Amino acid sequence: MGANVMTEETRVARRPGRRAPEIRCRTGRAAVPSAFAAWAPAESPGLTIEVTRVGGTAVAAVAGEIDLHTADALRARLVDLYAAGFRRLVVDFAAVPFCDAAGLGALVSAHNRIAPSGGEIALARVRPAQLRLLRITGLNRLFALHTDIGGALSAEGSPTTAR
């Protein structure tokens, strides 16, 4: 007999009531797919952003992983700081062990929201692996990179590359 051909009529239907597979995060806890979750950017477990005012500059010390689950919180916080009157933002990456494409996208999105009206985002104390990623993607030309907070604060408007 010939080969079996699966058509719409012969396809096995999914059993009613069958659950979709769970999505697990790094900590092993089950995560609800984002389409169903009511998530507010301010409630971002695993990411903290402490802001200090230095003159007219906001220094945002970020701690934790910046990924798909936390990137929106970072973007929202940076845009909120700009809306609060800070035209220059320094993001301290010293306590960021991991930043993926979603995190880079959040930084670019925040830049695109504030740059047209004179806002600036500088990055300080970026770890070597993340610095490499910024260079590979060309984002080292978009953001001023500094090896320390003092350098970022004193170099207003002049991008320098961290080593």
Cα distances (Å, whole numbers) of residue 70 to 14, 42, 49, 126, 154: 34, 10, 11, 18, 29
- Distance in angstroms between the alpha carbons of the first and the last residue of the chain: 69
User: What percent of the chain has a predicted confidence (pLDDT) above 90?
Assistant: 66
Helix, strand, coil percentages in the chain from 3-state DSSP, rounded to 5: 30, 25, 45
- pLDDT value of residue 46: 86
Tens-place pLDDT, residues 120-144: 999 999 999 999 999 999 999 999 9
- pLDDT value of residue 33: 38
pTM of the model: 0.69
Average pLDDT over residues 45-70: 95
Dig out the tokens for 43 from the structure: 């409630």
